Chain A
């Protein structure tokens, strides 16, 4: 059962990092978005991870200490939008200013790189677990 725990934990890491990557992609894609359903320019989003105990009934002390990861919530950036003077823009106000999302490409790229690296780390965990399973199978050969 332990190997399946390892797989579950690694899978939780993969999906959490993928969610983080998706949010980063959304931020970059909407770097110039001035209209949103909730009104105003797009607001930069970020994920917050939280450790979560593994599900399941009868577990020992060590197993109960195991934590997978999940996206706890998606937060919106509270920094004010950027103002740009562009009178011809359809969303410009009376003064000719447009409110644009505050997206810093460097920030997003860093986040993306970090998510990608963490994703690969979880992938390695999965690969190692499979190797261990194969080694265990060879015992009974």
Chain B
């Protein structure tokens, strides 16, 4: 139960926050697809995931092992563009990243919804 509700839910929440933040960064790439000199950006997840998995309470007074959203994200700038206007956004790549990230968000939100439904059953003892 603790593994299911106690760990998975905060991890999913952290992941959803990350996906949402990343989506904004990817949206900015698409909006600036024709802006001279713009370098594409991406938000990296590895650190955030690592923090979510390894964080543990070293003191009983500590609140939760859910990482602070945003604290472990790393913004990476892409290479300078080779186009004449210096824009570095690869439009196909940008669209694929955007779609995959949004899909992952929706999938994880669905998993979280189901976990919470399970937790509700565990608490109330009856399915809705």
Contacts and interface: CB of A to CB of B under 8 A. Distances in A.
B20 A62 contact: no
A61 B32 CA distance: 19
A60 B25 CA distance: 13
A113 B110 CA distance: 37
A49 B27 contact: no
A131 B98 CA distance: 12
A62 B75 contact: yes
Contacts of A20: 34
A62 B117 CA distance: 33
A82 interface: no
Interface size for chain B: under 10, 10 to 19, 20 to 34, or 35 or more residues? 35 or more
B32 A67 contact: yes
Prevailing SS type, chain B contact patch:
helix
Contacts of B23: 2, 6, 128-129, 132
A132 B30 contact: no
29 contacts: A2-B21, A6-B24, A6-B27, A9-B28, A10-B27, A17-B34, A60-B70, A61-B70, A62-B21, A62-B75, A65-B41, A67-B28, A67-B31, A67-B32, A69-B31, A69-B34, A115-B34, A121-B95, A124-B30, A125-B30, A125-B31, A132-B19, A132-B102, A132-B106, A132-B109, A136-B105, A138-B110, A139-B109, A141-B117
Interface of A: 2-3, 5-6, 9-10, 12-13, 16-17, 20, 48-51, 60-63, 65-69, 114-115, 117-118, 121-122, 124-125, 128-129, 131-132, 135-136, 138-141
